[in-house]
Amino acid sequence: MQVLEWAVRYPDAVAGVIPAATTARLGAQAIAFDAVGRQAILADPNFASGQYHTGPGPDSGLAIARMVGPHITYLSEQGMHAKFGRELRHRTNYSYDLESSDFSVETYLDHQGQAFVDPLRRQQLPVHYQGDRTTTICRPDMSRSRTPSGTSRPVSW
């Protein structure tokens, strides 16, 4: 989305663009999933209004945001069924334990959430990066009419 924005805002500075895996704007469902991810981070008690520099960070909130964002929204219902179905993982019967991940899709999401948190902690990246990223990605809307920098002619998509 950012490459499209640059092409529109700075047409004289950009000779050409090759947009890949992008859209002109996010739809309501994608914005909603991003909002849920941000709220998971903000609701984590370790977020501490972003002041977690010396203590533990909002790892649980960040892991949930990661589960919801790319790992649920990027697969269709059919894709999820083909990849996971209703297979149980590490057991033959349901546990009915709220803290257990019975299904293979649950253990996959648990793993992906943790796999995202661990490198952030090792690199000491700010955890609010994920919240900033989801806020920023929701804003571009190439369907709006705008005037590129240095020109007087509006561009509309």
Q: Is residue 66 part of a domain?
A: yes
Give the domain extent around 88. Answer: 26-138
Q: What is the pLDDT of residue 157?
A: 45
Looking up tokens 């179905």 gives 85
Q: What is the pLDDT of residue 84?
A: 92
* Average pLDDT of span 60-65: 89
For the residues of 12-43, what is the DSSP string, one character each? TT-S-----S--SB--HHHHHHHHHHHHHHHH
What is the chain's mean pLDDT, rounded?
79
Q: Is residue 1 part of a domain?
A: no
List pLDDT tens digits, range 71-82.
788 788 899 999
Q: Is residue 5 part of a domain?
A: no
Is residue 41 within 8 Å of residue 47, measured between CB atoms?
yes
Q: Phi then psi for 23, rounded to 5 degrees?
A: -145, 160
Q: Is residue 103 part of a domain?
A: yes
> What's the number of domains the chain is made of?
1
Q: Is residue 107 part of a domain?
A: yes
pLDDT over 70 at 30, yes or no: yes
pLDDT over 80 at 20, yes or no: yes
- CA 149, CA 57: separation in Å to the nearest integer? 40
Number of H helices, E strands in the chain: 7, 0
Q: What is the pLDDT of residue 133?
A: 56
Q: What is the pLDDT of residue 37?
A: 87
* Average pLDDT of span 24-32: 84
Q: Is residue 152 part of a domain?
A: no
Distance, first Cα to last Cα, the chain: 13
Q: Is residue 8 part of a domain?
A: no
* Average pLDDT of span 67-94: 86
List pLDDT tens digits, range 119-149.
766 555 555 555 555 555 566 677 666 655 5
Is residue 131 within 8 Å of residue 38, measured between CB atoms?
yes
Give how far Cα 32 sits from Cα of 27, 38, 73, 117, 142, Å: 9, 10, 11, 22, 19
Q: Is residue 18 part of a domain?
A: no
CATH number of the structural domain spanning residue 130: 1.10.1740.110
